[in-house]
Amino acid sequence: MTQTSQPRREFHSGRGKKTFDRIPGGFYLVGALVILFEVVMLGAVGLALAVGDPSDDGASPDKEPRRVEVTYIATGDHPSVNLTVGEADGNHKPLGVVILPYRKTVEMAAGDDFYLDVRSREDQEGGTLTCTVLVGGKVVQQDHSTPASSSATCSGSTADAPQRGIPVPTLTPGVSPLPEERRLTGSVKVPDYPGKGSPVIGTVTDSSLEYAELGGTWDRSKSQDPISDGFTRKQEGRQRALVKSTQVDEDIMAAAGGTGELRGVAGAVMDERRRYEYPRDQAILVDVASQPLRVDGHDAWLLVSEIHFHKRGVPSTMDLNAVLVVDTGRVRPSVLWVVLPETNKKLWPDLNTLVASVQVP
């Protein structure tokens, strides 16, 4: 009997099947996308590391802010002013007393704030003051004082647009510089100032002193309130000329060391007159004479000084000041103070007349 042959069946174990044959086809696409994503991310990180952080402190010089030239200018009819410069955010620097005209150029970052305040000194109010700020040589701001305000202030940004039609101020030469301070330590006699001087029309009696009353361009001598004026007698002459007398007060005696040494007292009186009668920090003493005297049998000391100064509205820039201190036998000495302006030198011989006339009644 013939047997029909059957197809032979093959049997395979799982071990014999290839690994990729067991992965569904869709997973190939997912894997490829994951690999592509990782490549892109690694490239981005590498680029960031190569470029660096723009805010990093180690930025290249090309990233630094652009610099501009800023020029501060202060002008006016005052010989000197109080000046403050700086930034409008409050970082201001007072420069103190500055001689006009003033000009200074600094470098600032583009967009920074500027600030300039020109203010009259307390003893020279009024007049005209102007502040001007230039950026890159062009006026970006200018301000003027008004009758109601003794100051001019310029504040803004270096990025402000230039103002058309405003010229850069012309800086005329400022006031002549003041001389150096000079105080005598030895004895130097007072000069005999030439000239006729003023006539003598009478005698003034005050504070244990008698001295000549002057005529001509001088007003009559008048009594004063020592509390408000500091002196008990005053005679005024033309162009701020003065003759005053009183008893030296306790504060000046203390400033002189309290010993009553006449030379020291005369110097303390002169320093006080400079402090109260002349522009603060802008009055220079130059001694021309310092000598002991005998006045009617009493010890005395004469100090003569030039006080150089600049004051708005005052034509004189130097006054001849004389202080004569006399020991009258009282607890405190008496003093005669004389002021003769340089603009009226024909009165300078009056100093010799007054000193020679002093008596102790």
- Residue 149 confidence (pLDDT): 82
What confidence tier does 24 reach under pLDDT thresholds 50, 70, 90? low
**Phi, psi at 326, each rounded to 5°:** -125, 130
Sheet containing 80-86: give its strands across. 92-99, 80-86, 113-119, 151-157
Burial 142-154 (b: 16+ CB within 10 A, else e): bbebeeeebbbbb
pLDDT exceeds cutoff 90 at 32: no
Mean pLDDT of the chain: 85
User: Per-residue pLDDT averaged across 215-239, rounded?
Assistant: 96
User: Per-residue pLDDT averaged across 219-246, rounded?
Assistant: 96
Cβ atoms of 17 and 10 within 8 Å: the answer is: no
* CA 281/CA 309 separation, integer angstroms: 9
CA geometry: angle at 26 spanning 23 and 31, to 5°?
85
pLDDT exceeds cutoff 70 at 55: no
**What are the beta bridge partners of residue 337?**
244, 323
What confidence tier does 182 reach under pLDDT thresholds 50, 70, 90? very high
**Phi, psi at 54, each rounded to 5°:** -60, -25
User: Per-residue pLDDT averaged across 51-61, rounded?
Assistant: 48
At 239-267, the pLDDT tens digits run: 999 999 999 999 999 988 877 799 999 99
Burial 17-55 (b: 16+ CB within 10 A, else e): eeeeeeeeeeeeeeeeeeeeeeeeeeeeeeeeeeeeeee
- Residue 185 confidence (pLDDT): 95
Alpha helices (runs of H) in the chain, residue ranges in sequence order: 26-51, 226-229, 250-255, 262-277, 349-357
- Residue 228 confidence (pLDDT): 92
What confidence tier does 16 reach under pLDDT thresholds 50, 70, 90? very low
At 103-119, the pLDDT tens digits run: 999 999 999 999 999 99
- Residue 234 confidence (pLDDT): 98
DSSP 195: S
pLDDT exceeds cutoff 50 at 47: no
- Residue 38 confidence (pLDDT): 57
| CA 245 distance to own-chain centroid | 35
Nearest Cα residue to 200 out of 356, 353, 347 = 353
DSSP 141: E
At 318-331, the pLDDT tens digits run: 999 999 999 999 99
Report the share of the chain in percent with pLDDT over 70: 81
User: Per-residue pLDDT averaged across 56-78, rounded?
Assistant: 77
What confidence tier does 14 reach under pLDDT thresholds 50, 70, 90? very low
* CA 273/CA 325 separation, integer angstroms: 14
Cβ atoms of 290 and 302 within 8 Å: the answer is: yes
At 291-310, the pLDDT tens digits run: 999 999 999 999 999 999 98
- Residue 77 confidence (pLDDT): 86
Nearest Cα residue to 84 out of 129, 21, 148, 22 = 129
* CA 319/CA 307 separation, integer angstroms: 5
pLDDT exceeds cutoff 50 at 7: no
pLDDT exceeds cutoff 80 at 9: no
Cβ atoms of 144 and 165 within 8 Å: the answer is: no
Higher pLDDT, 348 or 42: 348
Sheet containing 67-76: give its strands across. 102-109, 67-76, 129-135, 138-144
At 110-159, the pLDDT tens digits run: 999 999 999 998 767 778 999 999 999 999 999 999 877 889 999 999 99
SS3 content of the chain, % helix, strand, coil (to 5): 20, 35, 40
Instruction: At 11, list the tokens.
Output: 């049997």
Instruction: At 288, list the tokens.
Output: 């021309």
**Phi, psi at 13, each rounded to 5°:** -85, 160
pLDDT exceeds cutoff 70 at 10: no
Burial 315-324 (b: 16+ CB within 10 A, else e): eebbbbbbbb
Query: How many other β-carbons are positioned within 10 Å of the β-carbon of residue 98?
Result: 17
- Residue 357 confidence (pLDDT): 98
DSSP 17: S
* CA 326/CA 211 separation, integer angstroms: 12
| CA 147 distance to own-chain centroid | 22
- Residue 2 confidence (pLDDT): 45
- Residue 282 confidence (pLDDT): 80
- Residue 15 confidence (pLDDT): 46
Tokens 């000041």 found at: 321
- Residue 356 confidence (pLDDT): 98
pLDDT exceeds cutoff 60 at 28: no
